[in-house]
Amino acid sequence: MGKRFHRPPRIPSWVLRRFIPESDNTFLSGDFDEVYNNILEKRGRTAARRWYWIQLLCWIPLILWNSMRWSMTMFKNYLKITLRNLRRQKAYSLINIAGLSVGIACAMLIFLVVRYEFTYECFHENADRIFRINIEHTKLERNYSSRYSPVPLAPAMCEEIPEVTHFARIAELRQIQVAYGDRKFYEENVRFVDPGILEMFTFPLIAGDKNTALSDLHSIVITEEMAVKYFGKEDPLGKTLVLLNRMPLWVKGVIKNHPASTNIHPDFLVPLENLRALFDDNFFDNWVSQQLFSFVMLAEGASAAEAEAKIQHAFNRHVRQDDGRLLSLDRLNRMHLFSDTAPTGNIDSLVILLAVGGLILLIACINFMNLATARSAKRAREVGLRKVVGAAKRQLIRQFIGESLIYTAISMVLALFLVHVFLPVLNGLTGQSLVLSQIYQKCILASMAGIFLFVGFVSGCYPAFILSSVQPTTILRGTMETGKQGVLFRKILVVAQFAISIILIISTMIFGRQLNFLLSKNLGFKKDGIVVIRNDRSTSRQTLQPLKSELLSDSRVLGVAGSQMLPSSIGMYNTVTWEGALEGREISIMFNRVDYDFLKTFEIGLVAGRQFSPEFPGDMRAESGAGGMENSRSIIINEEAMRQFGWENPIGKKVIESYDEERTHYNVVGVIKDFHFNSLRESIRPLKLFCSTSNNRYISVKIPLKDLDETLKFIKRTWKRHYPDVPFDYFFLDRVFEQTYQAETSLKKLFHYFSGLAVFIGCLGLLGLASYAAERRSKEIGIRKVLGASSQQIVMLLSKDFSRWVLAANIFAWPAAYFAMRSWLGGYAYRINLNSQLVYFFLAGAAALSIALITVAFQSVKAALTDPVKCMKVE
Residue 295's pLDDT band (cuts 50, 70, 90): very high
- Mean predicted lDDT score pLDDT of the chain: 81
Do the Cβ atoms of 93 and 406 come closer than 8 Å?
A: no
Q: Which helix (H) or strand (E) holds 576?
A: strand 573-578
Phi and psi at 272, nearest 5°, equal -60, -30
Structure confidence at residue 235 as a pLDDT band (50, 70, 90): very high
Is the pLDDT reported for residue 426 higher than 80? yes
Q: Of 612, 587, 590, 586, nearest to 601 (Cα)? A: 612
Exposed, middle or buried by CB within 10 Å (0-12, 13-18, 19+), for 296?
buried
Structure confidence at residue 294 as a pLDDT band (50, 70, 90):
very high
680 and 762 inside one domain = no
Determine the pLDDT at residue 131: 96
Pick the range with the lowest mean pLDDT from 13-27, 550-564, 679-693.
13-27
| 501, pLDDT greater than 50 | yes
Domain count across the chain = 4
**Is 412 a domain residue?**
no
pLDDT given for residue 473 in this prediction: 64
**Claim to verify: residue 546 and residue 676 sit in the same structural domain:** yes
Q: Look at residue 13 and tell me if it is in a domain.
A: yes
Lowest mean pLDDT of 220-229, 278-287, 432-441, name the range: 432-441
- Evaluate whether residue 732 is within a structural domain: no
Find out whether 423 and 436 touch, Cβ atoms under 8 Å: yes
Give me the pLDDT at residue 596, please. Answer: 92
Domain boundary among 57, 74, 91: 74
Question: For residue 688, with 0-12 CB atoms within 10 Å meaning exposed, 13-18 middle and 19 or more buried, which class applies?
Answer: buried
In a shared domain, residues 578 and 710: yes
Q: What is the pLDDT of residue 471?
A: 67
pLDDT at position 164, please?
94
Write out pLDDT tens, residues 312-321. 999 988 887 6
Task: Report pLDDT for 628.
Answer: 43
Over residues 8-26, the mean pLDDT reads: 61
Indicate whether 91 belongs to any domain: no
pLDDT given at position 374: 64
For the residues 680-689, what does the mean pLDDT come to? Answer: 88
3-state helix, strand, coil in the chain (%, to 5): 55, 15, 30
Q: How many CA atoms lie within 13 A of 454 on its CB side?
A: 16
Q: Are strands 559-563 and 164-172 parallel, antiparallel or unpaired?
A: unpaired
Q: What is the pLDDT of residue 129?
A: 94
pLDDT confidence bin for 255, thresholds 50/70/90: very high
Nearest 5°: the CA angle 496, 500, 502 is 115
Closest CA to 221 of 185, 187, 195: 195
Indicate whether 465 belongs to any domain. no
Indicate whether 467 pLDDT > 70. no
Mind listing the pLDDT tens digit for each residue in 520-544? 888 889 888 999 998 876 666 677 8
Q: What is the pLDDT of residue 623?
A: 42
The pLDDT of 173-186, averaged and rounded, is: 85
Per-residue pLDDT at 470: 65
Measure the CA–CA gap between 270 and 272, rounded to whole angstroms. 6
Burial track 40-57 (b if 16+ CB lie within 10 A, e otherwise): beeeeeeebbebbeebbe
Mean pLDDT of 663-672: 90
Distance CA 456, CA 729 (A): 57
Q: Are residues 678 and 622 in the same domain?
A: yes
664 φ/ψ angles, rounded to the nearest 5 degrees: -120, 135
b/e burial code for range 297-334 (CB count within 10 A of at least 16 → b): bbeeebebeebbebbeebbeeeeeeeeebebbbbbbbb
Question: 561 is in which domain, residue-wise?
Answer: 536-725
**Confidence class for position 463, pLDDT limits 50, 70, 90:** low
Domain closes at, from 74, 106, 137: 74
Most confident of 298-302, 373-377, 542-546: 298-302
Same domain, yes or no: 197 and 236: yes
Residues 645 and 791 in one domain: no
| 775 and 670 within one domain | no
The C-alpha atoms of residue 59 and residue 365 are separated, in whole angstroms, by 42
Same domain, 5 and 68: yes
Q: Which of 586, 692, 716 is nearest to 636 (CA)?
A: 692
Residues 6 or more apart in contact with residue 140 via CB below 8 angstroms: 585, 586, 587
Is the domain of 561 the same as that of 627? yes
Interatomic CA distance for residues 61 and 54, integer angstroms: 12
Query: Is 250 inside any structural domain?
Result: yes
Encode 543-565: b = buried (16+ Cβ within 10 Å), e = exposed.
ebeebbebbeeeebbbbbbbbbb
- How many Å from the N-terminal Cα to the C-terminal Cα in the chain? 70
Write out pLDDT tens, residues 610-645: 999 888 888 876 544 444 444 578 999 999 999 999
Instruction: Name which residue leads in pLDDT, 133 or 378.
Output: 133
DSSP state of 413: H
In a domain, 329, yes or no: no
Q: What is the pLDDT of residue 140?
A: 54
Q: What is the mean pLDDT of residues 11-39?
A: 62
Look at residues 44, 74, 104 and tell me which one is the last residue of a structural domain. Answer: 74
Q: Do 491 and 614 fall into the same domain?
A: no
- Identify any residues that bridge with 325 across adjacent strands, giving them in sequence order: 137
What CA–CA distance (Å, rounded) separates 617 from 599? 18
Instruction: With CA atoms as reference, report the closest residue to 380 among 503, 478, 505, 464.
Output: 478
Query: Which of left, alpha, beta for 24 (phi over 0: left; psi -120 to 50: alpha)?
Result: alpha
Q: Is 487 found in the same domain as 385?
A: yes
Give the total residue count for the chain: 875
Do residue 712 and residue 767 come from a single domain?
Answer: no
> Mean pLDDT over residues 99-105, rounded?
88
The tens digit of pLDDT for each residue in 790-812 reads: 767 777 776 777 788 888 889 99
CA distances from 497 to 472, 591, 755, 808 (A): 33, 53, 12, 11
Residue 109 lies in a domain: no
pLDDT recorded at residue 406: 83
Which is higher by pLDDT, 744 or 716? Answer: 716
Q: What is the structure's pLDDT at 774?
A: 65
Q: How far apart are CA 617 and CA 817, in angstroms?
A: 59
